[in-house]
Amino acid sequence: MNKKRSFWEKLTGSVNMEEDYEEPKKNITVISKGSRDKKLDNNWIEEENEEAELAVDVYQTPTDIVIQTFVAGVRPEDLELAIARDMITIKGHREEHRTIDENNYFSKELYWGRFSRSISLPAEVEPEEAEATEKHGLLIVKIKKVDKEKKNNVRVRSV
């Protein structure tokens, strides 16, 4: 249905709103981060190696950098912490042990699978002096800051 456009419509590129204009339909698929569907309607394939990102709190005390994150449902042996002088990486895996048919779910928001998070630390730390504890699903990592004011007196020996 091609109707001749007015001079004003040609000049401005506008469309006469009085005409019946139908918005073209778009095929949109919404994918959540934890979606388990491998093949999607629009022929995109979800990457199998996708990892979720942990939410963390990072704060400091006069002597420590403290990182807190929730790892509920993760066994301590399924957690890995890698600490360098200026960065920490937390990796883990949360396994789902139930086998429920997808058609029986009303809502599925929990994340099951691998997760990780790398955090640049705001101060230099001593990786060897880190301690990690987990209680009720809350992981707390305390890492000693490098004491740049610390001095060590060395005695000179004669050989």
CA dist 113 and 134 (Å) reads 19
**Domain CATH for 81:** 2.60.40.790
Q: Does a structural domain hold residue 64?
A: yes
Per the DSSP assignment, residues forming a β-bridge with 118 are: 89
Q: Does a structural domain hold residue 66?
A: yes
CA dist 82 and 135 (Å) reads 20
Q: Does a structural domain hold residue 42?
A: no
Q: What is the pLDDT of residue 108?
A: 83
Stretch 82-91: mean pLDDT: 94
Q: What is the pLDDT of residue 89?
A: 95
Average pLDDT over the chain reads 78
Q: Does a structural domain hold residue 47?
A: no
Count of residues for the chain? Answer: 159
Q: Does a structural domain hold residue 105?
A: no
pLDDT band at 66 (very low <50, low <70, confident <90, very high): very high
Q: What is the pLDDT of residue 19?
A: 55
Q: For the chain, how many structural domains are there in total?
A: 1
Q: Does a structural domain hold residue 57?
A: yes
Q: Does a structural domain hold residue 37?
A: no
Stretch 83-103: mean pLDDT: 88
Could you tell me the residue range of the domain that residue 82 belongs to? 52-98+110-145
pTM of the complete model: 0.60
Burial of 62 per CB tally in 10 Å (0-12, 13-18, 19+) = exposed
User: pLDDT per residue over 102-134, tens digit each?
Assistant: 888 888 888 888 999 999 999 999 999 999 999
Q: Does a structural domain hold residue 30?
A: no
